[in-house]
Amino acid sequence: MKILEALKKIMTGEKTEVMRVLESTPIFSGLNDLELKKIEIITHEREYVPGEIVFHENEPGAGLYIIRRGSIKLTKKSGAGEAEVAVLKNGEFFGELALLDESPRSATATAGEKTQILGFFRPDFLNLLSTEPKLGAKVLLKLSQILAKRLRTTTASSIKGAAENGR
């Protein structure tokens, strides 16, 4: 019944809340309503209470997460305990590298408050690439562009830091 209701919304041009969240997420921006609906069908909705761990640093990556409501604190182990890396809010995403490989997570993700997230997991993404290759390629291209931009920013920052330190 959920699928029939979703198709009715598509036919009438009505977007679900999840579709609106997805289209505002850079990795899914530019997709049409039918493509967004196909992505929505394979996402997983989860809710976390404050302090609940989404994933631990060094765990194998399982997928990408989008914050629907709430906040996520990313922390990394250091010699002095844990260092806060970032606090992410509504509409932001994290864990995107796990769509490409199962390398260990680089940080721990913890709910900062009651938080709803959408999970887009690697097995579902790989299945999408084989069953809907054009849609999968669009998502993969966006993901590649996001990662390339982040790599350029990191490289520029490293070069600037090295220059300032006289290296």
Tokens 């996001």 -> residue: 146
pLDDT of residue 165: 74
Same-domain check for residues 70 and 114: yes
**Domain interval for residue 4:** 1-42
Same-domain check for residues 67 and 92: yes
Same-domain check for residues 25 and 90: no
Same-domain check for residues 63 and 9: no
Q: What are phi and psi of 138, to 5 degrees?
A: -60, -45
53 occurs within a structural domain: yes
Same-domain check for residues 10 and 68: no
3-state helix, strand, coil in the chain (%, to 5): 45, 25, 30
Same-domain check for residues 36 and 54: no
Same-domain check for residues 60 and 127: yes
Check if the beta carbon of residue 167 is closer than 8 Å to that of residue 55.
no
Same-domain check for residues 87 and 102: yes
158 occurs within a structural domain: no
- Within 10 A of 87 (CB to CB), how many other CB atoms are there? 12
| Number of domains making up the chain | 2
Same-domain check for residues 52 and 126: yes
pLDDT of residue 135: 97
The whole model's pTM is what? 0.84
**Most distant CA atoms of the chain, gap in Å:** 65
159 occurs within a structural domain: no
pLDDT of residue 158: 79
Same-domain check for residues 105 and 62: yes
Residue 98's domain is classified under what CATH number?
2.60.120.10
pLDDT of residue 78: 85
DSSP letters spanning 33-92: HHHHHHHHHH-EEEEE-TT-EEE-TTSBP-EEEEEEES-EEEEEEETTEEEEEEEE-TT-
pLDDT of residue 79: 82
Low-confidence ranges of the chain (pLDDT < 70): 1-13, 161-162, 166-167
